[in-house]
Amino acid sequence: MSLKWSLGIIPYYVDPESYDKIIENRIRLAMKTIEKSSCLNFERLNSKPADKNLSWLHFTNPQKERDCTHQLQVREYEEVIVTLGFECMLHTNIMHSLLHALGFNDEVTHPHRDKYIRILWENMQPKYRPLFLMQTANEPNRPVVEYDPQSVMHFHDRAFSVNGEATIAPLIPGMIIRSGDKLSQLDKMKLKLYFTHECNKRTVEELIDACRNILLENTVAGRQQDKNNSTYNRATDEDDTEKDSGKYESEQADESDYTNRGDQYADNISTKVKGDIQSKKGNSYLTQKFINKSLKKEGIK
């Protein structure tokens, strides 16, 4: 199975009737392990999506199954059912199921596996034999990555044994078959090969959105600045008008004051001149009177 997982985003919904918060936290912890080693983002859904074109993971276990499941069920409208059996809750088990949901196959089905391991069918429980059938061809658009005995997708060497004996035997001396609780280097490489293209699309969209937001912010800021400038200019014009009006009134007041003071000065000068004239007239009259009196005294007319 190979799902596109557009833009490297994987929406998921955890059925609260099947799994409690403790198990959901375990699921989320496994998702974080994958996110740290890839460009993928798991996004939690609060309810089942109404969008029929959206691929999404549905963690549910209505039958209360206990065993691990390795074959995913894809329902109509891209709903991918992920059933975690109650005996399959280890960190590595949950990551194994998540990688199945992302399109990874069990590593024992690798088309080149017979160069590295031998399957011991006689030691295997019959109902699990289909899980060991080798892939005959590589999936379209999925490059072949070298066989990885350390992959999270690999079974341990006694997986599904009917008698406690090994079901997988290495053909190369010293090769250890072990699935750890961490992604192997080849697991990380597969994640990059499978999803980098979609993640790059998301990065481009995020850059476009960021540029659009910056342009919008600059436009809003520019409009606000223009508005502030317009308000400032109006206020400045009003201040200038008030200043000009005040200056004119002040000049008029000064001119009136100068005129009043000039008039007062002129009045003072006029009064003084009149006084001087009157004084001179008075002196002239007294002088003439004195002369006449003197002449009369001397007998001169």
**DSSP letter, residue 151:** -
Q: Exposed, middle or buried, 28 (CB in 10 Å: 0-12/13-18/19+)? A: middle
Strands (E), the chain: 9-14, 41-44, 56-59, 73-74, 79-82, 117-119, 168-170
* DSSP annotation string for 238-286: HHHHHHHHHHHHHHHHHHHHHHHHHHHHHHHHHHHHHHHHHHHHHHHHH
Q: What is the pLDDT of residue 155?
A: 95
CA neighbor of 131 nearest in space, from 194, 64, 62, 67: 67
Q: What is the pLDDT of residue 232?
A: 67
Class of domain 1-104: alpha beta
CATH superfamily of 106-183: Collagenase (Catalytic Domain) (3.40.390.10)
Output the tens digit of pLDDT for each of the chain's 301 residues.
Answer: 456 788 999 999 999 999 999 999 999 999 999 999 999 999 999 999 988 888 999 999 999 999 888 877 888 768 999 999 999 999 999 999 999 999 899 999 999 999 999 999 999 999 999 999 998 765 655 677 899 999 999 999 999 999 999 999 999 999 988 877 899 999 999 999 999 999 999 888 778 878 888 888 888 877 888 777 777 667 666 666 555 556 555 656 555 655 555 556 555 545 554 555 454 444 444 445 544 555 555 554 4
CA neighbor of 191 nearest in space, from 31, 17, 301: 31
